[in-house]
Amino acid sequence: MDPVTTTCEACGGSRYSNEALSYLYKGKNIVEILDMSAEEAEGFFSGRPKICRALHAMVEVGLPYLSLGQPLSTLSGGERQWVKLAKYLGQKGNIYVLDEPTTGLHASDVKTIMKLLDGFVEQGNTVVVIEHNMDVVKLADYVIDMGPDGGTMGGEVVFTGTPQELAEYGQTITADYLRKC
């Protein structure tokens, strides 16, 4: 059943009192600021380094269009995952384990997330990715191929090495698919 929604008569749906709306920052009230996209807000908050770092991270992970006030419940699973990744941009010495980070992503988004993960590695982090997408596997520094099949027929290490070595010497299902890419 569709939810029944009504607009508050007191605030007109803004969620803020007239007093709260009367306070301005650079000529904008809280509602106007929360309606800004991350990209717009990055320019708006120039001169505020801590805020700009967070906004720049949102832009860098491919979410420049999200509004500051957008409820988390309206984000897709991929968008929520990217928001989490944005939180860790600029950190080093961490280990990140991602399970199928490209599931449901458009091919152009896969390139974006791979660029982001490469950036994590360049900053001195270790990134472990559990993935079936061959576009991701072929970009890995090192592959640990589990098999020989999936589910109860798997669980053994059937190959370790670079993607190039896997394609050239591997005798696994993953190697077969990688050679086709």
Cα separation, 116 vs 111, in Å, equals 9
Query: How many distinct structural domains can be found in the chain?
Result: 1
Any domain includes 163? no
Any domain includes 45? yes
Q: Are 172 and 148 in contact (CB under 8 A)?
A: yes
Note down the domain range covering 37: 15-75
Q: What digits encode the pLDDT tens for the residues 12-23?
A: 888 899 999 999
Can you give the length of the chain in residues? Answer: 181
Beta partners for 25?
Answer: 28
Any domain includes 125? no
Beta partners for 143?
Answer: 161
**Which residue intervals of 93-172 are DSSP H helices?**
107-122, 134-137, 163-169
pLDDT in tens, the chain (181 residues): 677 888 888 888 888 999 999 999 999 999 999 999 999 999 999 999 999 999 999 998 889 999 999 998 898 877 887 888 888 888 899 999 999 888 877 888 888 888 889 989 999 999 999 999 999 999 999 999 999 988 899 999 999 999 999 999 999 999 999 999 8
Nearest in space to 42 (alpha carbons), one of 23, 61, 24, 18: 61
Q: What digits encode the pLDDT tens for the residues 51-79?
A: 999 999 999 888 999 999 999 889 887 78
The enclosing domain of 25 has a CATH number of 1.20.1580.10
Any domain includes 139? no
- Whole-model pTM: value is 0.71
Q: Is 108 helix (H, G, I), strand (E, B) or coil?
A: helix
Burial group, residue 30, by CB count within 10 angstroms (0-12, 13-18, 19+): middle
Any domain includes 43? yes
